[in-house]
Amino acid sequence: MSGIGMENKPKLVDENNLRIDGRKLDELRPIRIEAGILKRADGSAYVEWGENKVLAAVYGPREAKPKHIQNPAKAIVQCRYNMAPFSVSERKRPGPDRRSVEISKITGDVFESVLFLEMFPRASIDIFIEVLQANAGTRCAGITAASVALADAGIPMADLVPACAAGKIDGKIAVDLKKEEDNYGEADLPVAIIPRTKEIVLLQMDGNMSETEFETALNMAMDACMKIYELQKDALKRKYITDQEVDAEQVEKPNTSRGDNQ
Ligand code: ADP
C-alpha cells in the first residue's frame, strides 16, 4: 500500500491460497494476552500478536490536571500511543510524529464510546500504549491491550473492545496483515467493535477495495474481533484467578517473615 519498491513485490498468496507465513486467508497470527503485568499502573496489559509486542498501562479515573482541561460533566480520555525507537527495523526517531498523534487520537475516541465517562466529572482516564516491536497491526494490538488494561483497572465500561484489520493482498481478501502484506498489499482496513452490540467504534481504510470486497473484509475483521474478544476475557479471568489464589495463600499462611521474634 505504501507503494515503496513495488517492483520487488513478493508473491503474497500462493496457488493454495496460503500466505507468506503459511496462514490461510482468514487466519490470525498467534495472539497472547496477559492482564495486570505492571505494579505501578492502575491497570495494564501486554499483547504479543505475531511479531508485535505491545504494552498498555492505564491510570485513573484521577483528577484531570491542569484544571483547565477538566470537563465538569464527565471524565476526559487522554491516550498516548508511542513506538519505541527499537520497535522497527530502522531506528525510529523518538517522540511523537503525525502517525502516532493520529493513532493516539483515534484510540482515545474508541474508548470515549465505551467508558461511562459521566460517572467521573473533572477526572481524566489516561491510557499509555507502548509499541516495543512492530510488524503491522499495532493500532489494533494497542486498542486490544488498552481495553484489557482498562478492565484490569476496574474502570466501568460497556464492554471490552477488540480490534483487528482485514485487507486485500494479491487481489484476495485476508485478515490481520503482517508487514510485507501491509507494504505490498492493495488495502488495509482496521476495525474495532463493541462485541455485545456489534457496534463499530473504529473503521479506517488505506488503499482501494470494491464495495463487495469492502463488505467481505469488514465481516472478516469483525469475525476476527470476536475471536480476540474471547482471548481478552480469558486474560482477565486468568488474572482474577491468580489474584484469588494469592489472596487465599496469604490467608492460609499469615506473613511470618516479620515480627516473629519480637
Ligand atoms: P499499524 O501498525 O496499525 O498497521 P501502519 O499501517 O501505519 O499502522 O504501520 C504499519 C507498520 O509499518 C507498523 O506496524 C510498523 O511495522 C511499520 N512502521 C510504522 N511506522 C514506522 C516507522 N516510522 N519506521 C519504520 N516502520 C514503521
Q: What is the pLDDT of residues 170-190, one digit of tens each?
A: 999 999 999 999 999 999 999
Model pLDDT for residues 84-122, shown as the tens digit of each residue: 999 999 998 998 999 999 999 999 999 999 999 999 999
CA 87 to chain centre: 16
List the residue whose alpha carbon is closest to atom 26 of ligand 1. Answer: 88
Average pLDDT for 56-63? 97
Which structural domains are found in the chain, ordered by start? 17-237 (3.30.230.70)
Residue from 49, 81, 88, 181 whose mutation best tests the ligand 1 pocket (most atoms within 8 A of CB): 88
Residue 260 pLDDT exceeds 50: no
Other residues' Cβ atoms within 10 Å of the Cβ of residue 84: 16
Q: Which residue has the cell 465517562?
A: 117
More confident residue, 77 or 5: 77
Average pLDDT for 216-224? 98
Cα–Cα distance for residue pair 46/91, rounded to 1 Å: 22
Would you say the CB of residue 129 lies under 6 angstroms from ligand 1?
no
Angle at 113 between CA 110 and CA 114, to 5 degrees: 100
How does the average pLDDT of the chain come out, rounded? 94
Q: What is the pLDDT of residue 1?
A: 65
Would you say the CB of residue 99 lies under 6 angstroms from ligand 1?
yes
List the residue whose alpha carbon is closest to atom 13 of ligand 1. Answer: 136
Question: What is the pTM for the complete model shown?
Answer: 0.93
Q: What is the pLDDT of residue 67?
A: 97
Q: What is the pLDDT of residue 250?
A: 82
pLDDT classification of 262: cutoffs 50, 70, 90: very low
Average pLDDT for 248-252? 82
Cα–Cα distance for residue pair 149/201, rounded to 1 Å: 18
3-state DSSP assignment of residue 174:
strand
